[in-house]
Copies of this chain bind each other. A is one copy, B any other.
Amino acid sequence: MASLLEGQARPIRLADIAKAAGVSHGTASNVFSRPEIVRAEVRERVKAVAEQMGYAGPDPKGRLLRAGKVNAIGVATTEPLSYFFDDPFARVMMAGISEACDATGAGIALVSAANQEKLSWNIQSALVDGFVLFCIEGGSRLVDLTRERKLPFVALELGFQDETVSAIGVDNVAGARLAARHLAELGHRRFAVLSLGFADNRTGFATPEVVRSAVYTGTRDRLAGYFEELSRFGIDTAKIPVYETENEEKSTRAGLEAIFAKSEPPTAILAMSDRMALIAIDWLKARGLDVPGDVSIVGFDGVPDGALSTPPLTTIAQPITEIGRRAAHMILDHDGTVRRETMGVEFIVRSSTGPAPRV
């Protein structure tokens, strides 16, 4: 009988159960949230009524409003949602975040700020206790949007001057120096840099002007690290082409075209991400150039794919999983303070780098 109406009827509420069982809503609530304080007899009766009426248990929507805490963290990016499952760097990071959440029983809500529709699930509407922000392209906008929500958040990559936002990142200068020194010591003298963006939506060769006015200080720091170290080897860094890409296939390939169209092509490429480095290896091989015979490449990040490429990629590895874990904990154990953590990097020498070719 009831089943005939079930489709139409609005869901059963705790109050309905209370009335049907002849107890107050307070007691009914206790039956589900603190069963030990209600008399066994009453408890069983209420449960039986609930069961019989097809009650789904206390609705988290109601509970949430009262409790105030969702017990989930939001992870946001300006990319589409699929980014979390496609991008190797994101995946490793998510593994770290997942670990922390698993350990504390928190949930993860994925949020894309790509869709700015009013009604869509976004930074403004996500039901979470705080955010971890993937500050890649458009990171500054992401931070601004999130700040308005007035919930705790952590930026991944401390690519912001702004000391008022919590962030976790790596020592970009030190990492970059390691990479540059390695190549210089192998005898390389002609370099090119495959760079991340200095500001949003930029692509193409970066002028000193662009570098100076960088919004993303992470990018700027890596470049500074490269240049500082190369200068020590007497290399004229002013002549090094620096091509900004969007860290994906198209613009990276365009960058390589542009770089190798120059009169003196480089024998060594400093890539600011493993993704670009791997694309470069691919591009060079397709062009008949040997890596590292003709051109050496050092990446940055230390994603697992780097170990599997041919040749395996020499890179500056970030402790990605650990960063993810810490970011999640910052939100979960949030105490109202701003934290900025800088993690160390690890230099991993594999086979994409070798001695500079004899000219």
Contacts and interface: CB of A to CB of B under 8 A. Distances in A.
Interface stretch (A103-111, A265-273, A338-346): A103-111
A84 interface: yes
B108 A149 contact: no
Given A71-B120, A107-B121, A81 B61 contact: no
Interface stretch (A94-102, A153-161, A245-253, A351-359): A94-102
A70 B127 contact: yes
B81 A85 contact: no
Given A72-B121, A84-B98, A102-B115, 19 more contacts: A7-B336, A60-B125, A62-B65, A63-B125, A64-B64, A71-B121, A71-B125, A72-B109, A81-B98, A81-B102, A82-B102, A85-B91, A85-B95, A86-B91, A105-B120, A105-B121, A107-B110, A108-B109, A108-B110
A7 B338 CA distance: 13
| Contact-size category for A | 35 or more
A105 B115 contact: yes
Interface string A72-93: 1000000011101110000110
Interface string A125-157: 111000000000000000000001111000000
Interface of A: 7, 11, 54, 56-57, 60-65, 68, 70-72, 80-82, 84-86, 91-92, 94-95, 98-99, 101-102, 104-112, 114-115, 117, 119-122, 124-127, 148-151, 308, 336
Copies of this polypeptide in the complex: 2
B117 A105 contact: yes
Contacts of A125: 60, 63, 71
A144 to B, nearest CB: 13
A318 B107 CA distance: 29
A68 B60 contact: no
Given A71-B119, A81-B102, A85-B84, A60 B112 contact: no
6 contacts: A64-B65, A72-B126, A84-B98, A85-B98, A105-B119, A108-B109
A307 to B, nearest CB: 13
A61 B60 contact: no
